[in-house]
Amino acid sequence: MRKSSCNSLKFDDTVHCTFFSSNALNENEWKELSHSINNTIASLSTDYIWNRDEFKVYLPVFSSCTNEDEWFIIYLVLQISKMHEDLLIHVEDNDGYFLLIEAANHLPSWLNPESAENRVFIYQNNVHIIPPDVSDLEKQLSISDAIQLIFRNPETTKADILIQDSIRNRSFKLFKSIDTNDKKNQLGLKLTCGFKIIENQSTKDIFSSSEYLKFLSSLTKNGYFKDNIEGSKDYMQLLEKAKSYFSNIECPINTQVCHEISDLKLLDVFVDTKNKVISNSNLNMSEDDDDWLDVSPEQINNILNTRYGESDNMDESKLKPSNQITSTLADFLKTTSDFEGIERP
C-alpha cells in the first residue's frame, strides 16, 4: 500500500481530502491517478459554481477548497471511491469530521469528536467507521493502522445503513442532475408570479397610499400651497402639479411598474405577441445560451485590448515616486483660487 505524503498545514475554511491506495503505486502512477481523478471531478462539476477554489487533487498534498462546497465535495469523493475501488479517502475540515454531523442522530454512543480521530473514512462508495471491537478506544490509533484495518476488514468497518443514508441524502439531493427544461420552466413561473403580484397592486389608488399622504403632508408643512384655501382654483392647480410630480418621480417603483404593465397590456402588439407565444408553446424551443455570463480574466483583458488597444510599457524614468505625488497634491490643496480658477503646481 502507498499513499501520497500529506502536508500538516491546514488552512481556515478548507476541506482536506487525503487519498490512500491499497496498491503499491510509484510516483508516476500517482500522477496518472491524480490526473484521472481531476478529469472525473471536472466532468461531474461542469455546471457547479465554486464558492472559492475548485476541488483539485495535487501531489504530494491531496486537499481541497472552501468548506462552503463541502457537501458537493462529499458527493465527488463518493463517486471517485466508486470508480477507483482501491482508494481509501480521509475527509475533514478545521472542525473535524463534519460529515458525521449530518448523521448525528444515528451515531453510536462511543463516537464523538475525540474518539473519531483516524476512524472515519470513505471507501468503495461507503462511509467506514472503525468500531471499538476492531481497535480499542483506549489505544491511540495511527493513520497507517487504521488504513490497514479497513483494507483487511471492509465489512466490519462499514458504517450502519442509517448513517450511510443520512450522508448520501444530503450530498446527492443537493447535486443531482437537473432536467434541461427545469431551468426555463422555473424562470417562467417566477416571472409570471412576479408580474401577477405587481399587476394586482395596480388596482390601488396611488393617491390614497401612505407614501402620497406623507408627501402631501410634507408639502403643506413647507408652505407649498401658500395661503390658498383648500379646494380653491389655485390650490387645485398646485395639487395637480404635486400629483404629477409624485406619480412620475416620488411614486414607489413597483407602483410605477404596475401602471406601465397595465398600459402595455392594452396595446395590440401585446395581444399579438401573447397569441404567438401560446400557439408556439408546444414547439421544442431551446433556451438562450447564458455562457456569456462566464467571462475569465483572460477574456476580459482581450476585450479591453481589442476595444482600447494594449497599453504601452511606461518609461520608468517618467514615473513619479508616491511621496512626490503626495507633496504636489498637498501644495495644490493649500493654493487659494480666484475668479480665473487655480493653476496646477
**pLDDT tens digit string along 69-82?**
788 888 889 999 99
**pLDDT tens digit string along 233-270?**
999 999 999 888 887 775 656 666 766 777 788 888 88
The answer on pLDDT for 275 being more than 90 is no
How high is the pLDDT of residue 88? 93
The answer on pLDDT for 64 being more than 70 is no
The answer on pLDDT for 281 being more than 90 is no
pLDDT band (50, 70, 90) for residue 131: very high
pTM value is 0.49
The answer on pLDDT for 333 being more than 80 is no
How high is the pLDDT of residue 318? 59
Written in H, E and C, the secondary structure of the chain is CEECCCCCCCCCCECEEEEEECCCCCHHHHHHHHHHHHHHHHHHCCCCCCCCCCCCCCCCCCCCCEHHHHHHHHHHHHHHHHHCCCEEEEEEECCECCHHHHCHHHCCCCCCCCCCCCCEEEECCEEEECCCCCCCCCCCCCHHHHHHHHHHCHHHHECCHHHHHHHHHHHHHHHCCCCHHHHHHHHHHHHHHHHHHHHHHCCCCHHHCHHHHHHHHHHHHCCCCCCCCCCCHHHHHHHHHHHHHHHHHHCCHHHHHHHHHHHHHCCHHHHHHHHHHHHCCCCCCCCCCCHHHCCCHHHHHHHHHHHHCCCCCCCHHHCCCHHHHHHHHHHHHHCCCECCECCCC
**pLDDT tens digit string along 143-186?**
999 999 999 989 999 999 999 998 888 877 655 555 666 677 77
Instruction: Report the share of the chain in percent with pLDDT over 90.
Output: 20
Lowest-pLDDT choice from 93-97, 130-134, 218-222, 295-299: 93-97
The answer on pLDDT for 11 being more than 60 is no
